A = this chain, B = another copy of it.
Amino acid sequence: MNTADLQSNLLVRMALMAWDAQNNQFKKVINSLLDDQLMKEISPGRNSGVYLLGHLIAVSDAMLPLLGWGDRLYPELEGLFITTPDKSGQSMPSVKELKEKLKTVNDALAIHIQAATVEEWLSKHNSVSTEDFAKEPHRNKLNVVVSRTNHMANHIGQLLLLS
C-alpha cells in the first residue's frame, strides 16, 4: 500500500473510531441510569431520556437503508421516535426492549462497517442523486457516519443531565 492509500485508510478509521467512541459513551450513559431516571425529562418540559434512547436507535436503524445495507430492522420506531415528538400519547416500548433493539441495530451496522472499504465509504449514499453527488463528493456514506456521530453527541450531552 502506498502512502496516500495508508493515509486514506487512517482517515476513514479515525471517523469510525469517533463513531464507536460516541456509541460507547451512549451505552455507558444509558446503562448508568435507572429506568426511573430514564423516564424523566432532561430539563423541565423537554424530551424524556427514554424518548432520546428510542430516537437514537431509530436514527441508527435508518442508516441501514441510507447506506445501502438493507431494510431497517424496526421501521415502527420512526413513527414513535422521529416523526412524532415525545409525550404524544403513544405507548413506548420498555427500556429493556429498547436496549435490546439498540444492541441488535448496532450489531447489524457493525458487520457492514467493518467490511466496508475506503471506496465504499466514499461512494454515494442513497439520499443524494448521482448528479448532486458528482458535484458534492463529500455527500458519501462516511459522511453519514460523521453526521450521525455529531447528532448522537448532541443528545448524549442532554442525557448526561439525567444522572
Contacts and interface: CB of A to CB of B under 8 A. Distances in A.
Number of copies of this chain in the oligomer?
2
Interface stretch (A12-20, A66-74, A91-99): A12-20
A43 interface: yes
Interface residues of A, number: 39
Interface string A131-162: 00000011010110011011101111110110
Interface string A115-138: 000100010000000000000011
Given A150-B153, A151-B153, A154-B160, 16 more contacts: A2-B4, A4-B5, A4-B7, A7-B8, A10-B138, A11-B11, A11-B122, A14-B15, A14-B140, A14-B142, A15-B15, A17-B138, A18-B147, A42-B43, A43-B44, A150-B150
